[in-house]
Amino acid sequence: MRHDVSMGMFRRAGSAGLIVAAALLVFGGSAARAADTIQADPTCCTFAPGPWSQDLGEIANFNNPAGADAPHNVTANDKGPDGGPLFRSDSIVAGTTVPVKGTQYLKTGSYGFFCTIHGPSMNGRLAVEPGKGSVVPRPAIKVTIPNQSLNKVRNSGKLKVKVKATTKSSGISLKAKKGSKTLATSSGLKLSAGAGKTVKLKLKSSGRKAIRKGKKVKVSVKGSVSFGKPSDAKRTLR
């Protein structure tokens, strides 16, 4: 509505194309409006009254205002598929603004949050509205253990693990185990949508020791990804 009126005013004034272009930059319809910046109250321990909202697919920000007398964070009440809070910010001191990670994956709805430092009494709500945006697909990975000889794994000290991402995924970590014993770990892998990678997990010295004996060894790998579901794989190496 505001868009049409403003443009009409410029046109009626017989403005040059330049002014119309400037108006388009200001009122242009393609970009979603910016997500709200959730604010802590400068005096401990509440959030400012709000309400806070964002469009689908946006990342909300959290600001702890300059002069605030305590550090705070924004942490969702509900858990997400990775077992951590559905969305979360770092804990920040006064005069700092950080993204509230994970809000780009939220469906339309209203989500409660609190500050883990000060407990459930410091709480607020974030409304996700349809707006002009669209929800960002949640990170999703599939982990498999390719066929490989036990001898080769023993001799090289490396276990091959394949990770495939169906959507853009970052913060991927892998943990290989034999029973409850950890053989190898890795973290920090990023993959674009549709990409796959074979990772050679370097066995820890205790891991090498754990697979030294026997004609076959059962190994399992758990792949975790921030804000997405974990993926598990098993194989008996011979």
Q: Which two tokens stand for residue 157?
A: 């000290």
Amino acid code (one letter) for 194: G
Toward Cu ion, which CB reaches closer, 101 or 138? 101
Tell me if 94 sits within 8 A of 64, measured CB to CB.
yes
Separation of alpha carbons 62 and 115, rounded Å: 11
Tell me how far, at minimum, the Cβ of 85 lies from Cu ion, in Å.
14
Tell me how far, at minimum, the Cβ of 64 lies from Cu ion, in Å.
8
* Beta strand segments in 31-168, E: 37-39, 52-55, 61-64, 75-76, 96-99, 109-115, 119-129, 140-144, 158-167
Tell me how far, at minimum, the Cβ of 54 lies from Cu ion, in Å.
21
Kindly determine how many residues on this chain lie close enough to bind Cu ion according to the rule CB under 5 A.
Answer: 5
Residue from 210, 110, 201 nearest 159 by CA = 201
Tell me how far, at minimum, the Cβ of 99 lies from Cu ion, in Å.
17
Toward Cu ion, which CB reaches closer, 23 or 98? 98
Residue nearest to Cu ion (CB): 115
Interacting residues with Cu ion between 25 and 84 (CB under 5 A): 72
In which element (H, E) is residue 178 found? strand 169-178
DSSP letter at 84? S
Interacting residues with Cu ion between 134 and 173 (CB under 5 A): none
DSSP letter at 105? G
Toward Cu ion, which CB reaches closer, 62 or 227? 62
> Token pair 């185990």 is at which residue?
177
Q: Which two tokens stand for residue 231?
A: 């993926």
Task: Tell me phi and psi for residue 41, to 5 degrees.
Answer: -75, 140
Helix spans in the chain (H): 2-12, 17-27, 150-156, 205-210
Toward Cu ion, which CB reaches closer, 72 or 164? 72
Toward Cu ion, which CB reaches closer, 74 or 233? 74
Interacting residues with Cu ion between 79 and 118 (CB under 5 A): 115, 117-118
Toward Cu ion, which CB reaches closer, 23 or 117? 117
User: Which part of the chain contacts Cu ion (CB under 5 A), choosing from 119-127, 131-139, 149-157, 212-220?
Assistant: 119-127
Interacting residues with Cu ion between 171 and 190 (CB under 5 A): none
Tell me how far, at minimum, the Cβ of 46 lies from Cu ion, in Å.
8
Tell me how far, at minimum, the Cβ of 77 lies from Cu ion, in Å.
14
* Contact residues for Cu ion, defined by CB under 5 A: 72, 115, 117-118, 122
